Structure 1
């Protein structure tokens, strides 16, 4: 069995290219079905697969008897509408121990834009559940991910990897504070109601802004989040007409197309008499048209723009990173040992089946002898001799066949198997 990974992230691919391969959680199931059905059934029956898709990365994990990286690259390139050569130039491909090391580092927060952040672990667990629900997660990938979660827990318990981390939301608040002298005088609009927006609202609410509003496609979900922070909920359809009311706009939805266009922002600026608007687009693909950034009174930041801010203080965590890598090394070795043992499972099953067949045959023979009146001792002796002969027959036959060199090698193997001293 082999495992492989194809991925692209914030260090290898620009934002707009990552946006082509972003999958919302409700898209994961049909996407996995499409991926698995694309493999040739003869050489790759029942390929295990899982997809992790966040604002910073899209990664495909697969397991099968034979590696199929080229096929996986071709499938993903086609799904994103790009040439395989372009995808390869921005992607990474890993297999076996390298794939295991990578997923352990991702789960532990070592591969994130925010070093040590914990949000990725929840996103990975959501991806695993989605793969399980569609029947795409077999024994091998299940072991890989469960072990990655265990390693991540040990890293966070045994090191200070997350002690100095700055979240995307915290970075957004910090940048907004540089533009507005007093955040308590600002009106803040959040577009979306998912986990990232929940985190952003929490950070901004701590600064006690003048008002908070939540715009979401599902009004009920928006109201639920707004109620927690004493804000108001509004329909997404009302956003263009009300955009001018807000000094700060933070957006993160699962939309595949921008929902805040250049024209809407231009009209809002005109209504605001060109008072500045601070905008944060945390979505991949983008929620806000990139042309908005060129407007004179708009300060627009994407997830990639926040990279410099969130990486401040990274030097304080380098000692923790070294400790985490040691834990990850041990986890990789343990997984590869388990994966290696998996190759012997069919042989073990065959041996057990053969032994059960011999045992059943000798038991049936013993019952017949007992029914004929044979003594128990004689029957037990015959049964033990029968089992012994069956077990030794193959070994004895091999010892008497082949040339001298092969017989010597066979003799050494049989000695190890049958002449071990009891400890």
Structure 2
């Protein structure tokens, strides 16, 4: 059994490309179902965040890898209605040991935009949960992800990978405080009510912003968050006429289309007498039209723009990342031993089934001969002779070949047949 990852992330593709192949939560079930129907695949998991889209695969034999690659890339392009040529330079593949290492790095935050950020761990767990619910998490994938979760927790415990606040949420609030000095006079609108927005709301509350408005598709999901930070709740359609009341907009939704357009912001600026506004768009696909950045008095930051801002405070985490690598290598090697043992188990099953089939065939012949009046002693001798010949044929051929080639596996073959025992 082999494992593979097909992916694109913030290191290989800009946001303009990443948002075209992102999966929103509503589409994950359908995507998992269609992808899992391919006959070569034993299971699949899809992870889609603002910084990456990765597809984790299990398939029978490494010799099938080229066909698995072509089939998965074709499916991804057809599903999103894109051309492979547009993405060929941005896509990456990892298999077996490299795949195991990569997912461990992703889950503990080493491969994130902000080293050690904690949100990705929850996102990986959610991706696996979706696969479990849809029946696409096979034994190998389940074992892989469970090992990854344990490794991520171990790294958090044994290293300082999470030391020094440097999350995307924190950085968004830092940008706001840099542009506007008097936080207590500022009004903020949060668009969405997911984990990232929840983290941002905590930082906003700590720094004493004047008023917070939460705009979300469903009121129920926003209510719990609003109670904690004493915020007002509005619906998404109300954003257009409430923008004039806020100075900062921080957005992170799963909407497939922009929620805030250039025309909406132009009308808002007129109503505000061109007072400065800050938009921080953490969503992929983007919630705010890119053209909004062209307007005077507007500051627009996307998730990619935050990278240069947050890179200065990560030295300690970089050291911790090196420590984490030792843990990853140790754990991944143990997992690969288990994965290889799975192959042996399947071969052993097949070998036993083959031996049982030979036994059954010869036994049936012997019983039939006895029923026809053949001498029982002669039938038993013939059965023993034929059974022995059939069972030792393949090992004999293999031993002869290994000996003729002076193959190093000759000793192993001899041991496996008990020939070197005293």
**Residue equivalent to 1:196:** 196
Q: TM-score, normalised by structure 2?
A: 0.85
Q: Please say which of residues 388-397 and 294-303 is displaced more in the overlay.
A: 388-397
Match of 2:373 in 1: none
User: In the alignment, which residue of structure 1 is the partner of 2:161?
Assistant: 161
C-alpha distance after superposition, 1:3-60 (max 9, x if no partner) = 11111111111112111111122311101112223x3x3xx1x531110000000001
Aligned to 1:214: 214
Secondary structure at the residue paired with 1:274?
Answer: coil
Contact kept? 2:115, 2:318, Cα under 8 Å: no
Shift of 1:95: 1.2
Aligned-partner SS, 1:226: helix
State the distance in 1 between where 2:241 and 2:390 align: 84
Provide the rounded CA distance (Å) in 1 between the counterparts of 2:230 and 2:147. Answer: 41
Question: Structure 1 residue 342 and structure 2 residue 337: aligned?
Answer: no
* Residues 310-319 or 109-118, more deviating: 310-319
Provide the C-alpha distance between the structure 2 equivalents of 1:191 and 1:405, rounded to a whole number of angstroms: 69
Aligned-partner Cα distance in 2 for 1:98–1:147: 15
Match runs of 1:141-180 below 5 Å = 141-180=141-180
Is structure 2 residue 42 aligned with structure 1 residue 57? no
1:402–1:312 CA distance, 2 compared to 1 (3 A): closer
Whether the 8 Å contact between 2:414 and 2:420 is mirrored in structure 1 is no
Q: Does the 8 A contact of 1:217 with 1:236 survive in 2?
A: yes
Deviation at 1:223, TM superposition (A): 2.3
Unpaired segments ≥5 residues, structure 2: 361-383
Deviation sequence 1:181-210 (CA, Å, 0-9, x none): 111111111111111111111111111111
CA–CA distance in 2 between the matches of 1:63 and 1:400? 34
Cα distance change, pair 180–358 in 1 and its aligned pair in 2 (3 A): same
Give the Cα separation in 1 of the matches to 2:391 and 2:359: 18
Partner of 1:333: 333
Look up the SS of the partner of 2:280 in the other structure. Answer: strand
- From the superposition, tell whether residues 170 and 403 of structure 1 become closer, same or farther in structure 2 (CA, over 3 Å): closer
Q: What is the match of residue 78 of structure 2? A: 78
What are the Cα deviations for residues 105-158 of structure 1, in whole angstroms up to 9, with x where unaligned?
A: 101111000101111010000000101111111111112211111111121111
SS of alignment partner, residue 47 of structure 1: strand
What do residues 69-124 of structure 1 show as CA deviations (whole Å, max 9, x unaligned)?
Answer: 12211221222332212211111111111111111110111100010111101000
Partners of 1:359 and 1:129 lie apart in 2 by 44
TM-score normalised by structure 1 residue count: 0.85
Alpha-carbon distance between aligned partners in 2 of 1:402 and 1:111, rounded to the nearest angstrom? 46
Counterpart position of 2:288: 288
The 1-side partners of 2:144 and 2:323 are apart by: 21
In structure 2, the CA distance between the partners of 1:294 and 1:397, relative to structure 1 (3 Å rule), is closer
What are structure 1's unaligned runs of at least 5 residues?
361-387
Distance 1:326 1:223, change over 3 A: same
CA contact (8 A) 1:250 1:279 kept: yes
Identify the residue that residue 228 of structure 2 maps to in structure 1. Answer: 228
CA displacement, residues 280-329 of structure 1 (integer Å, 9 cap, x when unaligned): 11110010111111111111111001111222222222221111111111
Q: Counterparts of 1:91 and 1:13 in 2: how far apart (Å)?
A: 8
Tell me, yes or no, if the aligned pair for 1:398 and 1:407 is still in contact at 8 Å: no
d(CA) in 2 for partners of 1:28, 1:398: 47
Q: Please list, as runs of the form range in 1=range in 2, the aligned pairs for 1:235-274 lying within 5 A after superposition.
A: 235-274=235-274
CA contact (8 A) 2:257 2:286 kept: yes
1:4–1:96: 8 Å Cα contact kept in structure 2? yes
* CA 1:209–1:358: 2 relative to 1, 3 Å: same
> What secondary structure sits across from 1:61 in the alignment?
strand
Task: Report the CA distance shift for 1:157/1:359 in structure 2 as closer, same or farther (over 3 A).
Answer: farther
What's the Cα RMSD here? Answer: 3.2
Across the two proteins, how many residue pairs are aligned to each other?
A: 398
| Deviates most, 294-303 or 69-78 | 69-78
Distance of 2:250 and 2:238 partners within structure 1: 16
